[in-house]
A and B are shown apart, each in its own frame.
Chain A
């Protein structure tokens, strides 16, 4: 599904490498946890995985396509196969909860009546049905997080990349979110979940990619 071969990333020439010679394979249907201290390169790797950045060196292949040689249209098509949960949610504050969740479908030209039903079901699942018409700007942190998660999975992505998706919700909602992710995983979605939550890291049996100083410290477990 996603393969990184000797990938390095540098924000500007002569600056230190934010990601240094990482090789990583995320087979279709796998579930990986991504951990590491602040400044380890998690955010840069997250951006590489979501194709927001392209490698300075090395190859990143997603769905059989080398992203460095892909055209802008091809990159957009590859991004449509992904769902992304940002740590800071990145909801559009002037849109309602429902409009935010519908956004990927709108952008993909796939907001069919059938998919509108899927949006309603998704909102019900994350417990936001009553808030569907409320502007995102008026939501609490937890509500925003749930909206962001619903937006990331509403179009049934092949790869879901989530940055601290349980960071702002209570324990019950965190369990529910993890349950959703494991359900998606069972249905074949490839998942990468970045987290600081040591409890979560210990409680799950999924392989962990541990980053430090821009490099993977446990390559045997991840590559």
Chain B
């Protein structure tokens, strides 16, 4: 006979809700963790494309010889991997979105300067300004720093959310164990009289709580995986940001709930048994 049948927590109403509430908590925690990972991937993809380039805007009336000189001199600098002018056709396409009849406008010369990650930016920027003082330099580095700050803030928010979910789990389990054992007080006294020790009683309670929390976690996580998969199918941009790290975060983070639940159940039971003496 499994000893757990002797001390059954299901008589406490809140125990019936453990699976549902845990499923909700794990669903939120899984999606929160996955969002953090997606955001990280999105930022990393974007950063790769942006951080290693500088865009130079040279006025439409710029001297062609000076432009040519700049184009020739830049690749000779350490860390510059390439210089490519943006075609007037491409520029007109960009401007069409914001200006009517862009073909009538004088177009600037736009140069995309690609840099190695180790490039010494200050020297390169100084060289550009020296060669072409009127050049407008669009360096993405400060913007990247700003975006990175925003990403970190969102990740902190997700972490905070996980903390709130874990706290709710602790409260739920503590309440379940307290009400469950209060409803089973005569049985508890009987089992103690028959020789059950604290370790056994704690094991009986913890295993019951853990089973329910694991079931809820499995349901919540499976739902979160399904939702993420479905959204990725509908949104290719999101799909491109789903890496192995996203899926592992999605599946592994909710496992914190059963761990926290087991520790809470054990500590709450031990404390209640000591008080019962």
A83 to chain B, nearest CB (A): 9
Does A158 sit at the interface, judged by CB under 8 A?
no
Does A108 sit at the interface, judged by CB under 8 A?
yes
Bound CA–CA A82/B277 (angstroms): 18
- CB-CB under 8 A from B8, the residues of chain A are 94
Smallest CB gap from B270: residue in A: A72
Query: Given contacts A99-B5, A103-B6, are A52 and B189 in contact (CB under 8 A)?
Result: yes
Does A164 sit at the interface, judged by CB under 8 A?
no
Query: Given contacts A102-B1, A103-B1, are A90 and B191 in contact (CB under 8 A)?
Result: no
Bound CA–CA A50/B189 (angstroms): 12
0/1 per residue, A83-120, Cβ < 8 Å to B? 01000001010110011001110111001000000000
Query: Given contacts A92-B6, A95-B1, A99-B5, are A107 and B195 in contact (CB under 8 A)?
Result: yes
Query: Given contacts A92-B187, A103-B6, are A79 and B193 in contact (CB under 8 A)?
Result: yes
A95 & B194 in contact (Cβ 8 Å cutoff): no
B190 & A107 in contact (Cβ 8 Å cutoff): no
Does B86 sit at the interface, judged by CB under 8 A?
no
Task: Pick the most buried of A72, A79, A106, A107: most chain B CB atoms within 10 A of its CB.
Answer: A107
A72 & B3 in contact (Cβ 8 Å cutoff): no
B3 & A106 in contact (Cβ 8 Å cutoff): yes
Interface residues on A, range: 20 to 34
Contact of A79 among B186, B195, B199, B277 (CB under 8 A): B195
Does A57 sit at the interface, judged by CB under 8 A?
no
- CB-CB under 8 A from B192, the residues of chain A are 52, 76, 79
Does B197 sit at the interface, judged by CB under 8 A?
yes
Bound CA–CA A126/B8 (angstroms): 28
Does A140 sit at the interface, judged by CB under 8 A?
no
- CB-CB under 8 A from A72, the residues of chain B are 197-198, 273-274, 277
Contact of B193 among A84, A94, A108 (CB under 8 A): A84
Does B137 sit at the interface, judged by CB under 8 A?
no
A90 to chain B, nearest CB (A): 5
B5 & A95 in contact (Cβ 8 Å cutoff): yes
Does B196 sit at the interface, judged by CB under 8 A?
yes
B194 & A52 in contact (Cβ 8 Å cutoff): no
- CB-CB under 8 A from A76, the residues of chain B are 192, 195-198
Task: Pick the most buried of B1, B5, B189: most chain A CB atoms within 10 A of its CB.
Answer: B1
A-B contact pairs, 18 of them (CB 8 A): A50-B193, A51-B193, A52-B189, A72-B197, A72-B273, A72-B274, A73-B197, A76-B196, A76-B198, A77-B195, A82-B195, A84-B194, A90-B186, A95-B1, A95-B5, A99-B1, A106-B3, A107-B3
Task: With A95-B1, A107-B195, A108-B195 given, name 4 new contacts (CB 8 A).
Answer: A72-B273, A73-B197, A76-B192, A92-B187
Which residues of B are interface residues toward A (Cβ below 8 A)? 1, 3, 5-6, 8, 186-187, 189-200, 273-274, 277
6 closest A-B pairs (Cβ-Cβ)?
A76-B197, A80-B195, A99-B1, A79-B195, A107-B196, A104-B194
